[in-house]
Structure 1
């Protein structure tokens, strides 16, 4: 089982959106027994809370299940349970690098590294911009590429 954790600042906008999109794509491919996804935030402000209303609205509009999404915070112990930590921006990535224990084999990447043709290196935070549609599109395209890579590296071999 490959485990992928999506990480943003508060775990109410970008990372839960990524978790829900990834889970839907994994389920469509019938790989839910091979790839598990989750999400967390670098901050502790929203632990136990549901995602932002804008995130829920766009997921609902796209027909993506969001029933089990709840805020949590990334901890150093997570690096022994998850294989990939996918950061939404450089701040999240640096936080993860500093939090990761030296003996962990977990991979830390930025989500948009899986879709460089966007010309962006960071997923904008819709909590501040309000642009949930643009963020959804960026996340959705990048996750498709991420899942393809994970399948090639871990599932189809």
Structure 2
């Protein structure tokens, strides 16, 4: 099974949005039995909380489920379990690099999966209030990530 972890600061806005969007795309492709998806935060402020109301609203508008999602903090075991650990911004990338304690070849920046973008990181709607902008970027990146995984792991859509 291929495993993907999206990481932001508090795990209530960007990373759960990416988790829900990516789950939706993976399910549409019929690959939910081949790809495990999760999200986490580098901070511990929101552990156990459901996604932010702005994230839930955007996902509801798009018809994407977030049922059962609760904020959690990155754990040391995540660095050995997940094939892809994807940081939503540069600060999270630096924190994950530090937390891993060693070079981590499967650590990425989310913007690495958005072709031809001028963005250096995914803006945090917790601070910007712009959940539309974040959703658009997350949707593009998740689409490209799924394509990359399908090519790299030779996975064909079953639907």
Q: 1:155 & 1:100 partners in 2: Cα distance?
A: 28
Aligned-pair distance for 1:75? Answer: 1.6
Do the aligned partners of 2:13 and 2:55 also contact (CA within 8 Å) in 1?
A: yes
Kindly tell me the number of residue pairs found equivalent between the two proteins: 156
- The two structures have a TM-score, normalised by structure 2, of 0.94
Counterpart residue number, 1:96: 96
Counterpart residue number, 1:119: 118
Whether 1:87 and 2:103 are equivalent positions in the alignment is no
Moved runs in structure 1, 4+ residues, more than 6 A?
none
Aligned-pair distance for 1:116? Answer: 3.5
* SS of aligned partner of 1:38: strand
Aligned-pair distance for 1:80? Answer: 1.3
Aligned-pair distance for 1:142? Answer: 0.7
Do the aligned partners of 1:34 and 1:155 also contact (CA within 8 Å) in 2?
A: no
Counterpart residue number, 1:26: 26
Aligned-pair distance for 1:118? Answer: 2.0
Q: 2:128 & 2:83 partners in 1: Cα distance?
A: 31
Aligned-pair distance for 1:101? Answer: 4.0
- The two structures have a TM-score, normalised by structure 1, of 0.95
Whether 1:110 and 2:90 are equivalent positions in the alignment is no
Counterpart residue number, 2:37: 37
Q: 1:19 & 1:134 partners in 2: Cα distance?
A: 16
Whether 1:131 and 2:130 are equivalent positions in the alignment is yes
Aligned-pair distance for 1:26? Answer: 0.2
- Structure 1: tracts of 5 or more residues without a match: none
* SS of aligned partner of 2:107: strand
- Does the C-alpha gap of structure 1 residues 35 and 127 become closer, same or farther in structure 2, counting only changes over 3 Å? same
**Over the residues paired in the alignment, what is the CA RMSD in angstroms?**
1.4
Do the aligned partners of 1:76 and 1:101 also contact (CA within 8 Å) in 2?
A: no
